[in-house]
């Protein structure tokens, strides 16, 4: 529950109404003019890439000691998703890329329901290839707009567990586009890619 509260709170911290507006695609049976605008946007996203050197490998425990670009050493556990660990040896280079983003979309009540869902996907190296793994996870938290205060420029979101979070709108004009009872779908995505390359020849 703490993770869910943190995701909802992050939207509030960065400002829900720092957003763009786009029209919703109307159903086949409805005229285009009847489409309700959807408020959506990306609150923030970042990608960090680093190269580390393998200092030691314990094939039994699958613990790998790495040295970062600044000389700092740290140990990670190579899970089952990292195939062909036996090929890894001291001196190999490991490229690690970490990506995360936080986005949201406001929907009408009939377009969804409050709740939490998690989707995960892992791709691994084929037998004989250098060890590699790419893992991604998306956490979707659908909250409900519990209250609007246009005078103060705030929105109160009710999380699936009943927690209330008050968000200050950076653009109060967007509050005219939403209503109490609307759903705010918040998507937190994180991905980690690990690839092992042969150490450069000296």
Residue 133: the pLDDT is 62
Torsion of CA 170, 173, 175, 178, to 10 degrees: -130
Residue 1: the pLDDT is 61
**Euclidean distance between the first and final Cα of the chain, in Å?**
51
102-150 confidence digits (pLDDT tens): 888 888 998 889 999 988 776 777 776 766 666 678 889 999 999 999 8
Q: Quote the pTM value.
A: 0.61
Cα distances from 115 to residues 40, 71, 137, 182, in angstroms, run 18, 44, 17, 14
Residue 142: the pLDDT is 93
Question: d(Cα 13, Cα 45) in Å, to the nearest integer?
Answer: 14
Cα distances from 56 to residues 60, 78, 89, in angstroms, run 12, 12, 7
Residue 182: the pLDDT is 93
The segments of the chain whose pLDDT lies below 50 read: 13-15, 17-37
């Amino acid at each position: 529950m703490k993770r869910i509260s943190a995701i909802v709170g992050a939207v509030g911290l960065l400002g829900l109404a720092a957003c763009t507006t786009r029209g919703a695609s109307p159903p086949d049976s409805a005229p285009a003019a009847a489409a309700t605008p959807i408020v959506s946007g990306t609150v923030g996203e970042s990608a960090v890439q680093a190269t580390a050197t393998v200092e030691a490998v314990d094939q039994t425990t699958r613990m790998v000691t790495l040295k970062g670009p600044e000389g700092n050493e740290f140990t990670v556990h190579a899970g089952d998703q990292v195939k062909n660990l036996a090929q890894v040896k001291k001196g190999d280079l490991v490229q690690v890329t970490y990506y995360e983003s936080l986005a949201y979309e406001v929907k009408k009540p009939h377009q969804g329901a409050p709740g939490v869902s998690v989707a995960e996907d892992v791709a691994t190296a084929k037998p004989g290839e250098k060890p590699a793994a790419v893992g991604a996870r998306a956490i979707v938290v659908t909250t409900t707009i519990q209250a609007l205060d246009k005078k103060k420029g705030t929105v109160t979101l009710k999380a699936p567990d009943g927690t209330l979070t008050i968000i200050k709108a950076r653009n109060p004009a967007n509050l005219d586009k939403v209503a109490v009872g609307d759903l705010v779908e918040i998507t937190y995505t994180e991905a980690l890619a690990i690839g092992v390359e042969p150490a450069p020849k000296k």
